[in-house]
Amino acid sequence: MSKAPKKMKALYEAVDRNKLYTVEEAVKILQSGSKQRKFDETFEIALNLNIDPRHADQAVRGMFELPHGTGGSVRVAVFAKDDKAKEAKDAGADIVGAEDLAEKIKAGEMDFDRCIATPDMMPLVGQLGKILGPKGLMPNPKLGTVTPDVKKAVESAKGGAIEYRAEKAGIIHAGVGKASFDEKKLAENITAFVREIIRVKPSGAKGTYMKKITVSSTMGPGIKLDIASFSSQDKKAA
């Protein structure tokens, strides 16, 4: 931190590492620091869950559409033919193909962030599992990325739907907006995402499910959130 600008250093020092902040407080602090940057920072969230994803009944994975999107551009590739290929293109897909797209991927050409496929394309896509799988790009019916409704899938991806997955240590990382968003939209995105993870609590989770929530901006400090406040909001919503 010795090389950090004085204002940035002051921002880090202003955060009480022992305090649990509300979403609104955390966003306000991080936004104040983002105004000093010359680029549009990404706001990120990390949720530390008391689960072991190696067990099927403790896995946490899914797709969620943030209320206000991510603020980032998403390049979408679609495996489809004929009418479904046209449907994908009309919906805004960046790359559409079949065998030709498979060959490009095998050659290392993967200029896309999300991969969608119609069910009939899965025998072909399955051959690319060793390439797409490690990069988290393998289409999956449980995530809605293997579907006959490619129009809806493409529009959802373009609209800010994010894929989440608990890592080995039980931690979920996700981008939840940009510094250029107003404070209310960022707070609503964060709140909606946390409540989604609470909603999909796996049957095998025992004891305290959510251990820690931290939000940060690209260059800002990590700020711990008050987990109890989300539980209260859930009860009010119920």
- Supply 91's token pair: 């919906």
Are the beta carbons of 71 and 178 closer than 8 angstroms? yes
CB atoms near residue 112 (< 10 Å): 19
Judging by beta carbons within 10 Å of its beta carbon (0-12, 13-18, 19+), is residue 167 exposed, middle or buried?
Answer: exposed
- CATH class of the domain at 76-158: alpha beta
pLDDT at 72 over 50: yes
Residue-wise pLDDT for 126-137, tens only, equals 999 999 999 989
- Per CATH, the number for 14-69+162-237 is 3.30.190.20
CA distances from 157 to 49, 70, 161, 189, 198 (A): 26, 10, 5, 16, 22
Rounded-to-integer distance, Cα 93 and Cα 74, Å? 10
Query: Is 175 strand, coil or helix?
Result: strand
Positions of CATH 3.40.50.790 in the chain: 76-158
Residue-wise pLDDT for 158-169, tens only, equals 888 888 999 989
Backbone angles phi, psi at 44, to 5 degrees: -125, 155
Write down the pTM of the prediction: 0.79
Q: Kindly report the average pLDDT of the chain as a whole number.
A: 89
pLDDT at 225 over 60: yes
Positions of CATH 3.30.190.20 in the chain: 14-69+162-237
